[in-house]
Amino acid sequence: YGDANQKIDYVFKVVLIGDSAVGKSQILSRFARNEFSLDSKATIGVEFQTRTLVIQHKSVKAQIWDTAGQERYRAVTSAYYRGAVGAMLVYDITKRQTFDHIPRWLEELRSHADKNIVIILIGNKCDLESQRAVPTEDAKEFAEKEGLFFLETSALEATNVETAFLTVLTEIFNIVN
Ligand code: GDP
Ligand code: MG
């Protein structure tokens, strides 16, 4: 693991997008390092993390990009989207506004990214059920209408984070194979 001599069959770039504070960086940290931090600082500088996994006997390096705290509308540059084959569109289930902004993010994604990009809608912080402001049904319906995968996750409790990435990576894998 992490061996320089390890044979990599595929590198897939996946971008994380969505409003500030929805949990993008913690989702990435959970997936790449199995870590979570309650007082994560706002992300500084564009960065990505990688994790190599095996899908159908091939080694796939997932290169996951996190925004540079550029979550204001139109602040994410086209370089961020360049070459991306997957995208995770994240909102916070306790903040209605972050879900209401999803169509905007989707529009931005569709105007900058490859038209065959695989997209998953993610309702994060599902551990905060008592503060829920976005019904699961609303998101499910939106995802179906737009042809997106959909899952609710908790980076805090590690719920569905692995499944969300595997869903996107496996779909990309199936498209290129
Ligand atoms: P980003 O701006 O989208 O990258 O959001 P962060 O990853 O920095 O997370 C923003 C805040 O939400 C931080 O205080 C995190 O600890 C918290 N957070 C992130 N994911 C979860 C989660 O699944 N559940 C809970 N309860 N808090 C979370
Ligand atoms: Mg962040």
Binding-site residues, ligand 1, Cβ < 6 A: 20-26, 38, 40, 43, 124-125, 127-128, 154-156
Mean pLDDT to the nearest integer, 60-88? 85
List the structure tokens of 11. 């590198």
Cα 90 to ligand 1 centroid, rounded to whole Å: 11
Question: Which ligand 1 atom minimizes the distance to the CA of 19?
Answer: 3
Q: Report the nearest-CA residue for atom 18 of ligand 1.
A: 23
Secondary structure letter of residue 76 according to DSSP: S
What's the pLDDT score for residue 38?
A: 73
Please provide the average confidence, as pLDDT, over all residues in the chain. 91
What's the pLDDT score for residue 75?
A: 67
What's the pLDDT score for residue 73?
A: 60
What's the pLDDT score for residue 35?
A: 87
Q: Is residue 116 pLDDT above 70, yes or no?
A: yes
**Of the listed ranges 5-9, 13-17, 132-136, 152-156, the one predicted with least confidence:** 5-9
Q: Is 92 helix (H, G, I), strand (E, B) or coil?
A: strand
H or E segment at 140?
Answer: helix 136-146
The residue to mutate among 26, 101, 105, having the most atoms of ligand 1 within 8 angstroms of its beta carbon, is: 26
- pLDDT tens-digit profile of 5-55? 679 999 999 999 999 999 999 999 999 989 888 766 655 555 799 999 999
Predicted structure pTM score: 0.94
- Helix/strand number for the chain, H first, E second: 6, 6
Q: Report the nearest-CA residue for atom 15 of ligand 1.
A: 38
Question: Which ligand 1 atom minimizes the distance to the CA of 43?
Answer: 4
Question: Which ligand 1 atom minimizes the distance to the CA of 90?
Answer: 3
